[in-house]
Structure 1
Amino acid sequence: MRIRRSALTVAALASVVGLTATGCFGQVGSSAAGDGSTVVFANTGGALAEVFAANAYVELEAEGVTVAEESPNNEAKLTAMVQAGAPTWDVFYSAPYIAQGRCGTLFEEIDFDRVDTEGLDPDQMSPCGVPVLNSSFLLVYNTETYGDNPPTSWADFFDPAAYPGARGIMNYAKDAGMEAALLADGVPGDQLYPLDYDRAFATLDGIRDSVRFFDTGAQQTQALESGEVDMMLAWPGRAYDAKAAGAPIDVVWNQPLKYFDVLTIVKGAPHQEQAYQLINSLIGQQNQEAIANRMPYGPSNSTAAPSSDPGIAEFVDGPQSAGSTVVRDDAWWAENLDEATRRWTDWVNR
């Protein structure tokens, strides 16, 4: 469905000069929290929230809706407030497998007649989730370490004899360590699921002595900048930040692992009309292009142009991957997240 939005006036822009994204909880705009014209958005904070504040929130302010933010978007807190029957959040920024696995319990089913779906990929839309950006888990490496013999595949990442050096991996099952291991061991990208845990961990065992585990994106950036690791299974935003700060890193565009994020409406959200207004603004062309021009993410809305900045484009999947992109199976992850997390944690701690 195509939904028309009101034009943003100069006067409306003037009324929100100085908007900033909050690091914890706070209003962006002028209406009182809890007011019928306020919508509460639980998101990841940081630079992405700054883009939202400078674009989507400005648009909503012109329509009389103020956005209040809370970050980080903690699922445990969400679960507690929904189970208590008193949610204070309206829109929750989520992974698609969480939206699928908790649909109807933590999240409302989306009425897509109220969503501007023009330009969205139907394969990324789910009963409780609306896609908001595209990204990929990437193999990045230190160019000074490997010189004229850089790694070219996940197999090289898992071959410390041929490519010595420290490896970095996020310490979460969901962050593609098992998928990368299976690709390295020769599993075709379109046959990864269901994940073969034993085969994945056997491959991961091969780098156990050289792996560094990280818990936050900031740790990724620091490790790449300092040279603590020579290769990393990285988030593109953090790798981009490191290179922008001078880290000598490049990307291997061979089987990047594609993922995307979604917007959800909290079960029992008190401001559902405003929640739909926020979602439509976040997926609209203006906000989508603002994300792409500030950060290394691809728009979820195909009407939005990708960034022309070569520094950003270097970390965004495109022709350079030559059709090798592997797409994560979010339906599998929705059904198996708890077991996969248990198996990953057991391997890390043994």
Structure 2
Amino acid sequence: MTPQRHKRAVARSAALVTAAMLALAGCSSSDDPGSAPQGPIVVANWGGLASKSYQTAYVDPYTKDTGIELQQVDAPGLFVARTKAQAAANRTEWDVLESITDSDAAFLADAGLLEPLPADLKARLIDQLGAENVTDYGYHSGGTAMLIICNTERVKVCPQSMAEFFDVEKFPQKRAIIGFNPIYPITAAQLALGVPRDKTSTTPIDVDAVFAKLEEIRPLSVIWSTVDQGTQVLEQGEADMGILYATRIYGELLPTGNYEVVWADGARAQGTTVVLKNAPHMKAAWNLVEWNATHLKEQAQFSVLAQKTAIDPASLEFVPADQRERFANAPEHDGELAVPNAVDYNAKFDKINQRFQEFISG
């Protein structure tokens, strides 16, 4: 975000908050069109720290401000399966999916299970957040990044790009590689193959080429299957460097002083907030979506508590200066990160998943 747009975004927040409240009576919904928004809004979230942070930063202030009740349901990794099950039973119980992955959002949109943003709300959100942060169904929120991390005691010079990370002759050390969400190692392989960072989101995935590239580092790779295991393999010396979530890098590894993080050629692990088709409290759901997007201090509080990106990069003004670097939407990381091609990934999912299972099994 440019400083000029940053100032405009902050200046407009008060006006947009007013617009959000006026929308209480005007947003299209499956509720009675003439009624005020009614709850309880049901938000499916990730559980753990993410849900606790969301409760403190958004749920309690939103209910106090609007009088609309909001409930959270923990559904980590189950957003797609349970949304499909609810739709199949013709009994949609959730209203909002919070910070689901880009690939899940693309899948649900393609399946017709998401409600598109109302045109007037989409225009206001683009004005507030920038077009790059708004989709046809919601906006980016609660994201992080997958970054190169090295133990400096065992890797004196850390790879500064994915091309170097995949160079087994220059860097013969053990690598930690994620064993789920193959979209991230695929994006890393695309970068190593020479796809520019600003083109990964639109460049078709060459499945054979990316897996051939991944096979080059497989003999030196330790596959981690949980986020906890990802940090453990580095802490315990099973791997010397790896690609890990920024939340764990900054929260657990960097404080020890023995690690170096490289943002160049990282991959955005974006979350997206969306509303379900046939949400039982549609009007209130869209009101919540806009309320969250226009409350910068609450966003900053969420970022600090959850260690994830806020909705509006302008909210970084309210984050302590010594913590801003850890967030993927901080201005200093502009141009450093690649965005995975979620649409093509979903289109080729069956082939990719089969090849990935073969890859991690060795």
Which residue is 1:267 aligned to?
A: 277
Q: Verify the 8 A CA contact 1:138 1:234 in the aligned structure 2.
A: yes
Q: Verify the 8 A CA contact 1:222 1:242 in the aligned structure 2.
A: no
Change (3 A) 1:82 1:203: same
Q: Verify the 8 A CA contact 2:316 2:330 in the aligned structure 1.
A: no
Counterpart-to-counterpart distance in 2, 1:338 and 1:132: 27
Change (3 A) 1:65 1:317: closer
Counterpart pick for 2:82 among 74, 77, 86: 77
Counterpart-to-counterpart distance in 2, 1:82 and 1:153: 43
Counterpart pick for 1:160 among 165, 168, 177: 168
Q: Verify the 8 A CA contact 1:169 1:232 in the aligned structure 2.
A: yes
Displacement, 1:256?
1.9
Deviations 1:59-98 (A, max 9, x none): 2221222222111241212211111111211111222333
Counterpart-to-counterpart distance in 1, 2:263 and 2:52: 29
Which residue is 1:126 aligned to?
A: 135
Which residue is 2:320 aligned to?
A: 308
Displacement, 1:296?
4.2
Q: Secondary structure at the match of 1:253?
A: strand
Change (3 A) 1:157 1:314: same
Q: Write out aligned runs for 1:138-157 (5 A).
A: 138-147=147-156, 149-157=157-165
Which residue is 1:26 aligned to?
A: none
In the alignment, is residue 289 of structure 1 matched against residue 300 of structure 2? yes
Counterpart-to-counterpart distance in 1, 2:149 and 2:323: 14
80-89 or 338-347: which moved more? 338-347
**What is the letter of the counterpart of residue 311 of structure 2?**
S
Counterpart-to-counterpart distance in 1, 2:16 and 2:48: 30
Which residue is 1:251 aligned to?
A: 261
323-332 or 61-70: which moved more? 323-332
Which residue is 1:14 aligned to?
A: none
115-124 or 69-78: which moved more? 115-124
Which residue is 2:217 aligned to?
A: 207
Which residue is 1:108 aligned to?
A: 115
* Percent identical residues: 23
**What is the letter of the counterpart of residue 213 of structure 2?**
T
Q: Verify the 8 A CA contact 2:95 2:281 in the aligned structure 1.
A: yes
In the alignment, is residue 66 of structure 1 matched against residue 78 of structure 2? no
Change (3 A) 1:48 1:123: same
Deviations 1:243-289 (A, max 9, x none): 26626222113222224211111222211122123322332312321
Displacement, 1:230?
1.4
Counterpart-to-counterpart distance in 2, 1:64 and 1:317: 31
267-276 or 117-126: which moved more? 117-126
CA RMSD, 1 decimal: 2.8
Q: Verify the 8 A CA contact 1:225 1:247 in the aligned structure 2.
A: no
Q: Write out aligned runs for 1:202-241 (5 A).
A: 202-241=212-251
**What is the letter of the counterpart of residue 16 of structure 2?**
R
> Gaps (5+ residues) in structure 2?
1-14, 22-36
Instruction: Count residues in correspondence.
Output: 321
Displacement, 1:162?
2.4
Q: Verify the 8 A CA contact 1:257 1:326 in the aligned structure 2.
A: yes
Which residue is 2:289 aligned to?
A: 279
Counterpart-to-counterpart distance in 2, 1:312 and 1:144: 26
Change (3 A) 1:280 1:241: same
Q: Verify the 8 A CA contact 2:198 2:338 in the aligned structure 1.
A: yes
Deviations 1:8-35 (A, max 9, x none): xxxxxxxxxxxxxxxxxxxxxxxxxxx9
In the alignment, is residue 183 of structure 1 matched against residue 191 of structure 2? yes
**What is the letter of the counterpart of residue 193 of structure 2?**
D
Displacement, 1:57?
0.7
Change (3 A) 1:97 1:175: closer
Counterpart-to-counterpart distance in 1, 2:327 and 2:135: 27
Which residue is 1:97 aligned to?
A: 103
Deviations 1:174-219 (A, max 9, x none): 4411221232233333444211222211221121122122222222
Which has a greater percent of helix?
2
**What is the letter of the counterpart of residue 106 of structure 2?**
Q
**What is the letter of the counterpart of residue 70 of structure 1?**
V
TM-score by length of structure 2 reads 0.78
Which residue is 1:32 aligned to?
A: none
Counterpart-to-counterpart distance in 2, 1:201 and 1:38: 46
> Gaps (5+ residues) in structure 1?
7-34
Q: Secondary structure at the match of 1:146?
A: coil
In the alignment, is residue 51 of structure 1 matched against residue 57 of structure 2? no
Q: Secondary structure at the match of 2:128?
A: coil
Deviations 1:152-173 (A, max 9, x none): 2212322233223221121235
